[in-house]
């Protein structure tokens, strides 16, 4: 059971977590928690401030966040437990003060120090959650994720070493579970073989949960968040949007690009490898079943499952007569994007042109300058990508016609279909995207 930052944001949120865990105690859960909301951002910010030679300001900026932990402790814990958690906080403060100082003096590689600093978010949240669960008579046991999840030493985005992680998790957590206790660990944090603290990348707690779930061959991995699973579309545009009961791993991967609400495909890979179902549920509505993400053979097929979109997209059209019948052309184009570290999303080609979309235009000018050496470049800003996802899309005739008939009066600038069997993606102008979403949702999801 993984709880995201908003699910452990304050005392009321901790109260909900206790109820949710107690409810499932029979299933022998393992609890993985993120840092309390905003804490990771605050720690990163402190790291940057220290790097700008302001270690005191950096340290002071953390005060309200320490206070938030203490507030929760105050609310739940007995005097004795409170005392020991308070001294934990004092110790963390001292250590953080020293590390921030080191950052400003640039002793030790900063990437390593950065991971040591951000790790405090998950460490404190998991220690606190352990105590809060115990205060509610749940037999919780703190487990240090840095001694469970083994990674390489790519700080900030470390890669887990599966065989070692699997062995240690099974051994360590297995014995805690056997004793009838509930292990509680921080997500996101790990350690290299040499014992240095590492982190798995932003949002990495989901990854930790998937690793632990896969190592223990859990019956289910639950991701507790503040939305009720995955919806048929954005409820801000279509209030009638519904929660999907099931989704395949492939469908979930296509939707991931469209928002943090759906899991990043990389983070659930261990679950995919071991075919463990991942359930996305809402800690505010624990009685709802949420959305179950499953191998495609087990998920309910439906030609259209969900319609997602993303605004703020820029299209580039690159045209060159030299492209006809020539090899190495695509490679030349993509090398330019690689050089400027720019991510390309949708790509379509014709005999003499390539069109593609970008959602990060930080290096646009430099990219276009280089592309102009290859051909003419046209830029179309303020576009939106619309993505229709469903397992039956490539194999069901008539779906494309149905999609485009519903929006036949709207101009479409790019279409990509077939690259993945579960998705149809196209691009329209940003100012019509709400209308497109409403019509498509009406077309595929209206009751009658």
Whole-number minimum distance, CB 229 to ligand ASP, in Å?
18
Interactions with ligand ASP, residue window 217-246 (CB under 6 A): none
Cβ neighbors of 50 (< 8 A, separation 6 or more) are 58, 100, 101, 103, 104
Q: Are 157 and 201 in contact (CB under 8 A)?
A: yes
Strand partners, 250: none
Choose between 40 and 130: whose C-beta lies nearer to ligand ASP.
Answer: 40
Residue 34 interacts with ligand ASP (CB under 6 A): yes or no: yes
Choose between 75 and 202: whose C-beta lies nearer to ligand ASP.
Answer: 202
Residue 188 interacts with ligand ASP (CB under 6 A): yes or no: yes
Tell which one of 135, 192, 198, 205 touches ligand ASP (CB under 6 A): 205
Q: Are 295 and 275 in contact (CB under 8 A)?
A: yes
Residue 5 interacts with ligand ASP (CB under 6 A): yes or no: yes
CB atoms within 10 A of CB 379: 13
Q: Are 279 and 293 in contact (CB under 8 A)?
A: yes
> Measured at CB, which residue is nearest to ligand ASP?
205
Residue 183 interacts with ligand ASP (CB under 6 A): yes or no: no
Q: Which of ligand ASP, Mg ion, none interacts with 229 (beta carbon under 5 to 8 A by kind)?
A: none
Choose between 145 and 238: whose C-beta lies nearer to Mg ion.
Answer: 145
Whole-number minimum distance, CB 148 to ligand ASP, in Å?
16
How many alpha carbons lie under 13 Å from residue 124 in its C-beta half-sphere? 33
Residue 229 interacts with Mg ion (CB under 5 A): yes or no: no
Binding segment for Mg ion among 3-11, 51-59, 162-170, 312-320 (CB under 5 A)?
3-11
Binding segment for ligand ASP among 33-41, 74-82, 229-237, 360-368 (CB under 6 A)?
33-41
Q: Which of Mg ion, ligand ASP, none interacts with 121 (beta carbon under 5 to 8 A by kind)?
A: ligand ASP
If binding means CB under 6 A, how many residues of this protein chain bind ligand ASP? Answer: 12
- CA dist 440 and 428 (Å) reads 13
Whole-number minimum distance, CB 445 to ligand ASP, in Å?
31
Q: Output the six-digit token pair for 255.
A: 């939707």
Binding segment for ligand ASP among 127-135, 201-209, 280-288, 289-297 (CB under 6 A)?
201-209
- CA dist 182 and 129 (Å) reads 11
Residue-wise burial string across 225-260, b where 16 or more C-beta atoms lie within 10 A, e elsewhere: bbbbbbbbbbeebbeebebbebbbbbbbbbbbbbee
Residue 204 interacts with Mg ion (CB under 5 A): yes or no: no
Binding segment for ligand ASP among 90-98, 203-211, 249-257, 323-331 (CB under 6 A)?
203-211
Whole-number minimum distance, CB 154 to Mg ion, in Å?
20
Interactions with ligand ASP, residue window 107-146 (CB under 6 A): 121
The DSSP secondary-structure symbol of 231 reads B
Residue 187 interacts with ligand ASP (CB under 6 A): yes or no: yes
Residue 203 interacts with ligand ASP (CB under 6 A): yes or no: yes
Binding segment for Mg ion among 128-136, 202-210, 301-309, 407-415 (CB under 5 A)?
202-210
- CA dist 140 and 147 (Å) reads 18
Measured N-to-C along each axis, helices 249-256 and 265-273 cross at an angle, to the nearest 10 degrees, of 170
Q: Output the six-digit token pair for 366.
A: 């430099």
Choose between 144 and 430: whose C-beta lies nearer to ligand ASP.
Answer: 144
CB atoms within 10 A of CB 115: 24
Cβ neighbors of 280 (< 8 A, separation 6 or more) are 223, 225, 227, 229, 230, 262, 263, 290, 291, 293
> How many residues appear in the chain?
448
Q: Which of Mg ion, ligand ASP, none interacts with 204 (beta carbon under 5 to 8 A by kind)?
A: ligand ASP
Choose between 138 and 223: whose C-beta lies nearer to ligand ASP.
Answer: 223
The DSSP secondary-structure symbol of 35 reads P
Q: Which of Mg ion, ligand ASP, none interacts with 29 (beta carbon under 5 to 8 A by kind)?
A: none
Q: Are 80 and 136 in contact (CB under 8 A)?
A: no
What torsion, rounded to 10 degrees, do the Cα atoms 41, 43, 45, 50 define? -170
Residue 203 interacts with Mg ion (CB under 5 A): yes or no: yes
Q: Output the six-digit token pair for 33.
A: 């928690």
- Taking each continuous run of H as one helix and of E as one strand, the counts in the chain are 14, 17
Whole-number minimum distance, CB 34 to ligand ASP, in Å?
3
Q: Output the six-digit token pair for 96.
A: 């953080």
Q: Which residues bind to Mg ion, rule: CB under 5 A?
A: 4, 203
Q: Which residues bind to ligand ASP, rule: CB under 6 A?
A: 4-5, 34-35, 40, 121, 187-188, 202-205
């Amino acid at each position: 059971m993984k709880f995201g930052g908003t699910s452990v944001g304050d005392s009321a949120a901790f109260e909900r977590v206790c109820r949710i865990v107690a409810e499932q105690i029979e299933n022998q859960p393992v609890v993985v928690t993120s840092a309390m909301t905003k804490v990771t951002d605050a720690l990163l910010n402190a790291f940057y401030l220290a790097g700008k030679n302001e270690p005191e300001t950096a340290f002071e900026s953390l005060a309200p966040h320490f206070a938030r932990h203490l507030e929760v402790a105050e609310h739940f814990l007995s005097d004795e437990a409170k005392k020991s958690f308070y001294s934990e906080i004092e110790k963390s403060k001292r250590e953080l003060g020293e590390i921030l100082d080191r950052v400003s003096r640039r002793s030790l590689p900063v990437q390593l120090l950065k991971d040591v600093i951000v790790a405090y978010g998950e460490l404190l949240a998991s220690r606190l959650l352990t105590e809060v669960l115990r205060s509610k008579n749940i037999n919780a046991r703190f487990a240090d994720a840095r001694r469970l999840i083994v990674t390489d030493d790519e700080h900030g985005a470390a890669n887990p070493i599966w065989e070692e992680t699997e062995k240690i998790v099974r051994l360590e957590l297995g014995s805690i579970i056997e004793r009838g206790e509930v292990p509680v660990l921080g997500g996101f944090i790990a350690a290299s073989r040499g014992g240095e603290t590492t982190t798995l990348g932003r949002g990495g707690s989901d990854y930790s949960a998937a690793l632990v779930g896969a190592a223990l061959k859990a019956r289910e991995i639950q991701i507790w968040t503040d939305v009720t699973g995955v919806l048929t579309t954005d409820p801000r545009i279509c209030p009638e949007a519904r929660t999907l009961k099931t989704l395949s791993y492939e469908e979930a991967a296509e939707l991931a690009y469209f928002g943090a609400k759906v899991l990043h495909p990389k983070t659930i890979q261990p679950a995919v490898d071991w075919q463990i179902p991942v359930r996305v549920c809402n800690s505010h509505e624990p009685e709802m079943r949420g959305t179950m993400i499953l191998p495609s053979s087990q998920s309910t097929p439906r030609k259209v499952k969900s319609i997602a979109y993303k605004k703020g997209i820029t299209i580039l059209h690159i045209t060159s007569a030299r492209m006809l019948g020539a090899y190495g052309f695509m490679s030349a184009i993509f090398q330019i994007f690689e050089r400027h570290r720019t991510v390309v999303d949708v790509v379509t080609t014709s005999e003499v042109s390539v069109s593609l979309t970008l959602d990060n235009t930080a290096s646009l000018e430099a990219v276009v300058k280089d592309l102009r050496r290859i051909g003419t470049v046209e830029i179309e800003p303020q576009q939106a990508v619309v993505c229709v996802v469903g397992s039956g899309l490539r194999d069901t005739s008539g779906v494309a016609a149905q999609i485009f008939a519903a929006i036949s009066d709207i101009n479409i600038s790019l279409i990509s279909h077939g690259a993945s069997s579960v998705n149809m993606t196209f691009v329209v102008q940003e100012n019509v995207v709400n209308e497109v979403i409403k019509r498509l949702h009406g077309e595929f999801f209206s009751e009658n």
